[in-house]
């Protein structure tokens, strides 16, 4: 009996010594740049608690190089650990200004992954530079910054963990873990939330939306006869021109209001039917449908056509959806290419839209951004990412792309920069904007320090941060 009591007491003592983190709260819940995030909670008295934080950086791109600058990074007293990881890189170096610049280079594996780590960095505030060469310039570079330390609860088990956002960029989500309890916050800046302009009777001076193209016929992709009729409706708020091509040869058509109809004669194999509608403000929409003709399909196709002829004629109106609604699914028919302002949005054939409505893009003006676009239908996700390309020739090299999340606010978004064109994959509808970021000036030219930063790799960077 005595042995059992001793065993029970030993178990209870062991359980009581196990970390028991509870009542963790974070403040502020919606921090802005410069705020100090404070995590508070309860633990065992005088317990040592592990704390960590990490966030992702979207670096500045100057093909084929990438670079990022972090100013005023606060490093807590040791024990601590600071780590930077990179994906899709040929090289990675991290410089920390500790009076003089101290540079650490990381090895890179065959997949383009690299990491640089430094432990027990003296407590203080540091400027940090991260950079290198991109492995595959058609893909974005992913940079992540990790920091960890330990704190001690007081005699009552209360603890506080402070994390400064002075060096954190707008739209960055910080992932914090304290004693195994995870929290996350997104740092907001000065970019205002998009404002939905109410519809008024005032006539706008310029149309910023491309024409809407709806293909009412043909609706099939395979035919056993080479003559196929088409019926297309185009709508827009301003005057527009329409051209129809079959395998790049312009076709003739009849017009009845917004309806355009006629016949095309297919060649054996795969044919491309392309409809291009452009309004007087140079907004353009291109829709591509692929039609396959084979004599081997003639008997089946004709029988199907006979069945269709016997069915009740389907209704067609300007309100008809350009996409196929099958089993309550909203699926895009054909490839669509929208040209609006400096942007091109490409939608692939077969893309499923999570909500009803047509895909479209509009240019918007949002304060503190250089360019902004909104993609519809609202609150939708796309099964195949849309491709958004934006010409940024007239902008500086210090750019970032942000997406507006109704719950988190503006969020940094990955992109690829190639020959003055930003390309990003769009998986959600909503607002996308480009910002020209400001870089704090130093007595020493950032260009010079970046060049020295890459001397070990014999890399000369002349474009990154050249606005300084």
* Dist. CA 106–CA 116, nearest whole Å: 5
Per-residue pLDDT tens for 96-106? 987 888 899 99
Q: How many CA atoms lie within 13 A of 289 on its CB side?
A: 26
When the pLDDT of each residue in the chain is averaged and rounded to a whole number, the result is 83
pLDDT at 468 (0 to 100): 33
Q: What is the mean pLDDT of residues 438-458?
A: 45
- Residue 394 within a domain: yes
377 and 334 share one domain = yes
pLDDT at 75 (0 to 100): 86
Q: What CATH number did the domain enclosing 357 receive?
A: 2.60.40.10
Pairing of strands 343-347, 421-428: unpaired
160 and 223 share one domain = no
Q: Let me know if 430 is exposed, middle or buried by CB neighbors in 10 A (0-12, 13-18, 19+).
A: middle
Q: What is the mean pLDDT of residues 6-19?
A: 47
68 and 180 share one domain = yes
pLDDT at 132 (0 to 100): 95
- Residue 453 within a domain: no
Percent of the chain with pLDDT over 70: 81
43 and 166 share one domain = yes
87 and 173 share one domain = yes
* Dist. CA 467–CA 445, nearest whole Å: 11
Per-residue pLDDT tens for 223-270? 999 999 999 999 998 999 999 999 999 999 999 999 999 999 999 999
Per-residue pLDDT at 455 exceeds 90: no
Query: 166 lies in which domain range?
Result: 24-186
162 and 80 share one domain = yes
Per-residue pLDDT at 293 exceeds 90: yes
Six token digits for residue 409: 């606010």
- Residue 465 within a domain: no
Six token digits for residue 453: 């930063």
* Dist. CA 133–CA 89, nearest whole Å: 6
- Residue 385 within a domain: yes
| Element (DSSP H or E) covering residue 80 | strand 80-87
pTM: 0.79
Per-residue pLDDT at 38 exceeds 90: yes
pLDDT band at 401 (very low <50, low <70, confident <90, very high): very high
CA distances 5 to 2, 12, 18, 62, Å, are 5, 11, 20, 70
* Dist. CA 186–CA 408, nearest whole Å: 6
- Residue 368 within a domain: yes
128 and 256 share one domain = no
Three-state DSSP state, 379: coil
Cβ neighbours, 10 Å, residue 293: 21
pLDDT band at 321 (very low <50, low <70, confident <90, very high): very low
137 and 282 share one domain = no
CA distances 144 to 130, 173, 175, 227, 235, Å, are 11, 11, 11, 57, 46
218 and 256 share one domain = yes
* Dist. CA 468–CA 454, nearest whole Å: 18
Q: Let me know if 73 is exposed, middle or buried by CB neighbors in 10 A (0-12, 13-18, 19+).
A: buried
Per-residue pLDDT tens for 66-97? 999 998 888 888 899 999 999 999 999 999 98
66: DSSP letter? E
159 and 254 share one domain = no
177 and 217 share one domain = no
Pairing of strands 92-98, 343-347: unpaired
Number of domains forming the structure of the chain = 2
- Residue 455 within a domain: no
- Residue 451 within a domain: no
Ordered DSSP codes for 151-204: EE--TTSEEEEEEE-TTPPTTPEEEEEETTEEEEEE-B-SPPPP--PPP-SSPP
72 and 179 share one domain = yes
- Residue 7 within a domain: no
């Amino acid at each position: 009996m005595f042995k059992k009591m001793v065993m029970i007491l030993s178990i209870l003592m062991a359980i009581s010594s196990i970390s028991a983190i509870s009542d963790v709260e974070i403040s502020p819940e919606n921090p802005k740049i410069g705020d100090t995030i404070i995590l508070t909670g309860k633990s065992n008295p005088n317990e040592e608690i592990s704390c960590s934080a990490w966030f992702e950086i979207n670096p500045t791109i100057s093909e084929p190089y990438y670079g990022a600058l972090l100013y005023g990074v606060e490093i807590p007293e040791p024990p601590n650990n600071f780590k930077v990881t990179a994906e899709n890189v040929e090289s990675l170096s991290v410089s920390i200004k500790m009076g003089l610049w101290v540079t650490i280079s990381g090895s890179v594996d065959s997949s383009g992954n690299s990491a640089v780590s430094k432990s027990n960095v003296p407590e203080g505030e540091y400027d940090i530079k991260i950079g290198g060469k991109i492995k595959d310039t058609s893909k974005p570079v992913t940079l992540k910054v990790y920091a960890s330390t330990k704190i001690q609860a007081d005699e009552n088990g209360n603890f506080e963990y402070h994390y400064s956002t002075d060096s954190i960029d707008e739209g960055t989500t910080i992932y914090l873990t304290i004693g195994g309890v995870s929290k996350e916050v997104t740092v907001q800046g000065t970019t205002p939330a998009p404002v939905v302009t109410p519809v008024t009777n005032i006539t706008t001076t310029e149309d910023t939306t491309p024409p809407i193209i709806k293909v009412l016929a043909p609706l099939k992709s395979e035919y056993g006869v080479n003559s196929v009729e088409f019926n297309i409706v185009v709508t827009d708020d301003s005057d527009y021109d329409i051209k129809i091509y079959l395998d790049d040869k312009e076709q003739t058509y009849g017009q009845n209001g917004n309806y355009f109809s006629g016949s095309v004669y297919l060649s054996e194999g795969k044919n491309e039917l392309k409809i291009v509608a452009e309004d007087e403000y140079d907004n353009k929409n291109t829709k591509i449908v692929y039609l396959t003709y084979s004599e081997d399909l003639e008997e089946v196709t004709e029988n199907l056509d006979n069945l269709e002829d016997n069915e009740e004629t389907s209704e067609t109106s300007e309100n008809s959806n350009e996409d196929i609604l099958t089993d309550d699914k909203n699926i895009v028919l054909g490839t669509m290419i929208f040209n609006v302002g400096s942007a091109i949005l490409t939608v692939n054939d077969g893309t499923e839209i999570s909500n009803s409505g047509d895909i479209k893009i509009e240019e918007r003006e949002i304060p503190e951004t250089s360019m902004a676009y909104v993609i519809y239908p609202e609150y939708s996700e796309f099964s195949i990412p849309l491709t958004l390309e934006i010409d940024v020739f007239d902008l500086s090299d210090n750019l970032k792309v942000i997406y507006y999340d109704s719950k988190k606010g503006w969020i940094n978004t990955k992109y690829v920069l190639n020959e003055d064109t930003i390309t990003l994959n769009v998986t959600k509808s909503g607002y996308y904007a480009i910002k020209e970021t400001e870089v704090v000036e130093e007595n020493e030219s950032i260009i010079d320090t970046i060049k020295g930063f890459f001397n070990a790799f014999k890399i000369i960077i002349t474009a990154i941060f050249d606005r300084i």
